[in-house]
């Protein structure tokens, strides 16, 4: 095992082409997506991430609150709901994206809620090359909500309008 200190987008020659495990603990906002993109592109056997501060999708919901068809915008009409809906939607998209690339995904809590509110653990184990059903579900969710998360822009841009 070795540790590389560098932005994930700049690790090309610093890490092997094939990775066994990619982890990210409380990687803020789209840093979790960077770790997941690295895992998928390097065919990691296992992924374990604990996302934090999922602000990107919440910002998209704020910037264009009526982009999605009714009744979806009701879920993010208020700032606190927008923050929580954005965080939840972000992690649902992440789980579906991993599943679409052949990972068996489990989403659970890392520790008791009394210790941290950012407590979601996304685990993935590569079991297939792809899962077209999950990719279709992801496409449907993206069309319904009109969001453009980084993980989709990086790995599945064809699913975006």
First to last CA, the chain: 41
Strand, coil or helix: 9:
helix
Those residues of the chain that have pLDDT short of 50 are: none
Looking at residue 97, its pLDDT comes to 98
pLDDT digits (tens, 9 = 90+) for 52-93: 888 999 999 999 988 999 999 999 999 999 999 999 999 999
Looking at residue 8, its pLDDT comes to 79
Looking at residue 1, its pLDDT comes to 72
Vertex 154 angle, CA 16 and 158, to 5°: 130
């Amino acid at each position: 095992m070795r540790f590389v200190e560098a932005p994930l987008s700049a690790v090309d020659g610093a890490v092997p082409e094939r990775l066994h495990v990619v982890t990210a603990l409380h990687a803020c906002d789209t840093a979790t997506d960077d770790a997941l993109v690295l895992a998928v592109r390097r065919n990691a056997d296992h992924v374990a991430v604990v996302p934090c501060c999922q602000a990107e999708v919440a910002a998209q919901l704020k910037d264009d609150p009526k982009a999605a068809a009714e009744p979806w915008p009701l879920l993010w009409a208020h700032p606190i709901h927008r923050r929580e809906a954005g965080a939840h939607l972000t992690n649902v998209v992440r789980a579906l994206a991993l599943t679409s690339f052949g990972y068996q995904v489990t989403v659970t809590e890392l520790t008791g809620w009394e210790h941290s509110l950012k407590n979601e653990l996304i685990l993935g184990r590569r079991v297939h090359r792809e899962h077209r059903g999950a990719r279709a579900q992801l496409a449907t969710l993206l069309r319904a909500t009109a969001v453009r998360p980084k993980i989709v822009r990086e790995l599945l841009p064809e699913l975006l309008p």
